[in-house]
């Protein structure tokens, strides 16, 4: 078949070719955008990222390496990984519409406290439980000052992951600052982060999805739980592999750029091996946060077979959406009774006193220990003591610290 060059030139210069080319171009752009959107919003299987690297971990080695965060024993392969990193402290929401959360079963320690309106939120500490697989943590939500204060106890400059937070920024207010009635200075989380030196633009250990970090560290996935889209505020998913990559870029590895290890100044708890009681007496721990919010009532049911407590939230077994949906468990459940103040402003912010001292109940091995908690300053980690003043040894494994209003009743 012969092609007439002049005819071809004429066609290329014709209006018909322009129209056809325009449609083809729009089609290709549309396909490209569709593929991009599909990639960003479609839930992806946990464990895909860094799978090759994890394949080199020998998890058949003896578990004889102690996690400094919760005392659980791991392999040398896992220790080699966490000894290149520092803890991630992530603010994870617990709204009823956001359950089950993703990744909580892989946290070493989890704190729970009311964010506002009786709705609780978590501060999850990830470190030793994440080297063996990639973990998605979700939904990431905004910071509260008491979570900042608790995170600050995890050594030098832990990674603090959140999506926004209580602040006094206002583009339409005098001098660009909200009035005290709108945001009380006591609860200004951003001011606390600034004072700690964590919010250093895109160079600090503070990773704020609403300000200084984005894809692929955090993405929006409204379809994490179902084909029906979740509310926008429940959609932020963090990829902890990517969090660590970003931390490496910023110079926050096990040691920072000045050679200071994160463990400098970190107060490890004392640990003990399992010692389940033959006649357990604290087998069904119950408490609430606010009387009017039954959906956030907590129950911990003791399982003698595993010497652990299984979590029930709002009357339902509380599970992790990932990893075959296990029920959340703890070796230690600490009820840290704290002074509650608020709401302090028109944004309904609460304040919980997590520095200083207070009463505590520690549930482990099927028994309860009445005692106290002590956190000397923002940068100190809380420590728990019995009534004789002896430090309580934590059973190796996951610990939940429930920051409950001091006036509340705990039954068991």
Per-residue pLDDT, averaged over 133-144, amounts to 97
Q: For residue 408, give every residue at least 6 positions away whose Cβ sits within 8 Å of its Cβ, in sequence order, or none.
A: 287, 288, 289, 337
Residue 175 has pLDDT above 90, yes or no: no
Report whether the peptide linkage leading into residue 139 is cis, meaning its omega lies within 30 degrees of zero: yes
Place of tokens 């102690």: 66
Within 10 A of 219 (CB to CB), how many other CB atoms are there? Answer: 20
φ, ψ of residue 67 in degrees (nearest 5):
-70, 130
In percent, how much of the chain has pLDDT > 90? 80
pLDDT at 45: 40
Examine the pLDDT at 339 and tell me if it is beyond 80. Answer: yes
Mean of the per-residue pLDDT values for the chain?
90
SS3 readout for the chain: CCCCHHHHHHHHCCHHHHHHHHHHHHHHHHHHHHHHHHHHHCCCCCCCCCHHHHHCCCCCCCCCEECCCCCCEECHHHHHHHCCCCCEEEEEECCHHHCCEECHHHCCEEEEEEEECCEEEEEEEECCCCCCCCCEEECECCECHHHHHHHCCCCCCCEEEECCECCCECCCCHHHECCCCCCCHHHCHHHHHHHHCCCCCCCCCEEECCCCCCCCCEEECCCCCCCCCCCHHHCEEEEHHHHHHHHHHCCCCCECCCCCECCCCCCCCCEECCCCCCCCCCCEEEECCCCCCHHHCEEEEEECCCCEEEEEECCEECEECCCCCCECEECEEEEEEECEECCCCCCCCCEECCCEEEEEEEEECCEEEEEEEEECCCCCCCEEEECCCCECCEECCCEEEEEEECCCCCEC
What confidence category does residue 4 fall into, taking pLDDT thresholds of 50, 70 and 90? low
Q: Supply the Cα-derived Rg of the chain in whole angstroms.
A: 25
- pLDDT tens track for 60-117: 999 999 999 999 999 999 999 999 999 999 999 999 999 999 999 999 999 999 999 9
Residue 396: band (very low, low, confident or very high) from pLDDT cuts 50, 70, 90: very high
Query: Count of CB atoms within 10 A of residue 162's CB?
Result: 29
The pLDDT score that the predictor gives to residue 172 is 77
Give residues with Cβ within 8 angstroms of 86, minimum separation 6. 127, 155, 156, 157, 158, 159, 247, 252, 253, 254, 262
Report the C-alpha gap between 67 and 114 in whole angstroms. 28
- Residues 169-192, mean pLDDT to the nearest whole number: 87
> Which residue would you say has higher pLDDT here, 143 or 177?
143
Asked which of 177-181, 219-223, 274-278, 364-368 is least confident by mean pLDDT, the reply is 177-181
What is the C-alpha to C-alpha distance for residues 14 and 35, in angstroms, rounded to an integer? 32
Beta bridge partners of 91: 123
Calculate helix-pair angle for 5-12, 15-41, nearest 10 degrees: 60
Question: What pLDDT, on the 0 to 100 scale, is given for residue 65?
Answer: 98
Q: How far apart are CA 273 and CA 295, in angstroms?
A: 34
* C-beta separation of 307 from 142 below 8 A: no
Give residue 387's pLDDT: 98
302 exposure class (CB count in 10 Å sphere: 0-12, 13-18, 19+): buried
Q: What is the mean pLDDT of residues 163-168?
A: 93
Main-chain dihedrals φ then ψ at residue 336, nearest 5 degrees: -100, 100
- Let me know: does 97 contact 231? Beta carbons within 8 Å: yes
Q: Are 209 and 141 in contact (CB under 8 A)?
A: no
Asked if pLDDT for residue 52 goes beyond 50, the answer is no
pLDDT at 34: 39
Please say if the pLDDT value at position 274 is more than 70: yes
Q: Delineate the domains of the chain, giving CATH numbers in brackets.
A: 51-249 (3.50.90.10), 271-405 (3.50.90.10)
pLDDT at 39 over 60: no
Q: Which of 30-44, 101-115, 212-226 has the lowest mean pLDDT?
A: 30-44
What pLDDT, on a 0 to 100 scale, did the predictor assign at position 13? 54
Question: pLDDT at residue 236 above 80?
Answer: yes
Whether residue 37 is predicted with pLDDT greater than 60 in this model: the reply is no
What pLDDT score does 293 carry?
98
Q: Please write the tens of the pLDDT for every residue from 6-24.
A: 554 454 455 444 444 444 4
* pLDDT value for 6: 52
Residue 251 CB neighbour total at 10 angstroms:
14
Q: How many other CB atoms are there within 10 angstroms of residue 46's CB atom?
A: 17
Q: How far is CA 47 from CA 53, 78, 378, in A?
A: 11, 16, 35
Residue 184: what pLDDT? 95
């Amino acid at each position: 078949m012969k092609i007439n060059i002049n005819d071809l030139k004429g066609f290329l210069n014709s209006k018909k070719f322009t129209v056809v080319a325009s449609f083809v171009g729009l089609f290709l752009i549309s396909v490209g955008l569709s593929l991009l959107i599909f990639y960003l919003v479609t839930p992806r299987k946990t464990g895909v990222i860094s799978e090759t690297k994890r394949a080199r971990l020998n998890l058949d080695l003896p578990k004889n390496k102690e996690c400094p965060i919760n005392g659980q024993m791991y392999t040398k392969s896992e220790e080699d990984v966490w000894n290149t990193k520092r803890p991630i402290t992530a603010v994870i929401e617990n709204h009823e519409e956001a359950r089950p959360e993703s990744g909580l079963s892989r946290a070493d320690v989890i704190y729970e406290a009311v964010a506002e309106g009786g709705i609780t939120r978590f501060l999850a500490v990830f470190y030793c439980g994440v080297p063996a697989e990639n973990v998605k943590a979700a939904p990431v939500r905004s910071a509260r000052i008491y979570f900042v204060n608790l995170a600050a106890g995890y050594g030098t400059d832990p990674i603090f992951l959140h999506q926004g937070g209580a602040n006094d920024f206002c583009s339409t207010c005098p001098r660009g600052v909200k009035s005290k009635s709108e945001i009380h200075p006591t609860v200004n989380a951003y001011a606390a982060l600034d004072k700690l030196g964590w919010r250093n633009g895109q160079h600090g250990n503070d990773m704020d999805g609403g300000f200084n970090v984005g894809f692929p560290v955090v993405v929006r996935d409204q379809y994490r739980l179902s084909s029906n889209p979740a509310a926008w505020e429940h959609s932020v998913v963090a990829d902890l592999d990517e969090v660590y990559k970003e931390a490496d870029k910023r110079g926050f590895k096990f040691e920072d750029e000045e050679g200071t290890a994160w463990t400098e100044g970190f107060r490890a708890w004392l640990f003990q091996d399992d010692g389940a009681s033959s006649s357990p007496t604290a087998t069904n721990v119950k408490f609430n946060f606010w009387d009017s919010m039954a959906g956030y009532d907590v129950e911990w049911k003791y399982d003698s077979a595993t010497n652990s407590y299984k979590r029930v939230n709002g009357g339902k077994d509380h599970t992790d959406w990932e990893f075959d949906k296990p029920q959340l468990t703890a070796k230690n459940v600490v009820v840290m009774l704290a002074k509650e103040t608020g709401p302090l402003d028109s944004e309904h912010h609460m304040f919980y006193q997590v520095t200083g001292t207070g009463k505590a109940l520690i549930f482990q091995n099927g028994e309860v220990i009445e005692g106290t908690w002590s956190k000397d300053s923002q940068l100190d980690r809380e420590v728990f003591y019995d009534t004789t003043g002896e430090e309580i040894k934590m059973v190796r494994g996951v610990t939940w610290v429930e920051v409950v209003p001091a006036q509340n009743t705990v039954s068991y």
